[in-house]
Amino acid sequence: MNRMRRAGFFKSPIWFLVPVIIYYAAFWIRPTISVIIESFTDKSGVFSFANYVRLFSQKSMRTAFLNTILFTLGSAILQFILAFALALWLNKKFRFSNLVLFITLIPMAFPPAAVGILWKTGLYRFGWINSFLCSLGLMNPANPVDWMSFRNLYAVILLIIIDTWTVLPSVMIILLAGLQNFNKEFEEAGWVFGANKFQTLKDIVFPIMKPTIITAMILRMIAAVQVWLIAVMIFGYNVVPFLVERIAYNVDVITFAKYARKDAYTISVIVAAIVLISVSIYLRVSGEKQKGGEIA
């Protein structure tokens, strides 16, 4: 009997997870724990919050933290609104809808470095953006806008617009997939009982599509918190600082500085904490709204 139990245990599907567990233990869990320990120890190896205190005493770090929060919230909200509107439109299956879908997916083919180069060539005073606006009569050719001179909030907004052009198709395709699996009979039932389009969307479509929306928003927030390459490709280091941009700056630019390694580890932990907290808050708020709707 015991021999049969042992044979059954070793035939269990759980053994297929062993390679994955070994991989994560070797290449993810161990490095992650090492980074966390390094962020909470000083040069002599003593437990300390000195790394965090030193970082947040720097103006560039506080600016990077604020820029990251603004970028994450701004890009997530803007991209969800535009992506959902676009998904609703494409879901109507109008004539040439497949062609429109193909055109909207084109930005997904560009790698981040190519996106940075493409937009940077347009942001100069005599770049393609100003040339296009002048051809439409929306800008005076004698006084073109110097987009590359934007700083602070204006630069963050500009990066949100560029990022939206880049990732909007990926958010849209997730929402469109959810809409195509949506049973339209529920929507038609709402119209029968006198609901208008907005009420049907708010009270029927949104609640049913909640898992799809949560997936799209979580993926978007995680990616938005980690923004850095576009900012560096367009403006360079130290112009529009973000948290992950500070990590790259410490690793690539000031590699051998006194606190470069410690600062990179510490900022990595901060970024991971922001991602976990943001996702937890979003899941909790969306869950409470769903419960409130069910009670009502």
Give the model confidence (pLDDT) of 46-59 as tens digits. 888 999 999 999 99
- Domain CATH number, residue 121: 1.10.3720.10
Q: What is the pTM of this model?
A: 0.84
| 1 domain residue, yes or no | no
C-alpha distances out from residue 248 to 223, 227, 243, 273, Å: 16, 11, 9, 18
Same-domain status, 190 and 259: yes
88 and 228 both lie in a single domain? yes
Whether residues 147 and 280 share a domain: the answer is: yes
* DSSP collapsed to 3 states, 46-69: CECCHHHHHHHCCHHHHHHHHHHH
- Residues 74, 166, single domain; the answer is yes
Q: Is residue 5 part of a domain?
A: no
In terms of domains, do 36 and 80 share one? no
Is 66 part of any domain? yes
Q: Tell whether 177 and 41 lie within a shared domain.
A: no
- Same domain membership, residue 184 and residue 82: yes
Is 159 in contact with 234 (CB distance < 8 Å)? yes
When divided into structural domains, the chain yields a total of 2
Residue 155 has pLDDT above 60, yes or no: yes
> Are 144 and 215 members of one domain?
yes
Statement to judge: residues 289 and 244 lie in one domain: yes
Residue 138 has pLDDT above 70, yes or no: yes
Give the closest residue to 204 by CA, choosing from 222, 191, 216, 223: 191
Report CA torsion sign: 266, 267, 273, 276: negative
Task: Reply yes or no on whether the pLDDT at 296 is more than 50.
Answer: no
20 and 88 in a common domain: no
What confidence tens digit (pLDDT) does each residue in 205-255 have? Answer: 888 888 888 889 888 988 999 899 899 999 999 999 999 999 999 988 888
pLDDT value of position 292:
52
By residue range, what is the domain housing residue 106?
Answer: 54-295
Residue 226 lies in a domain: yes
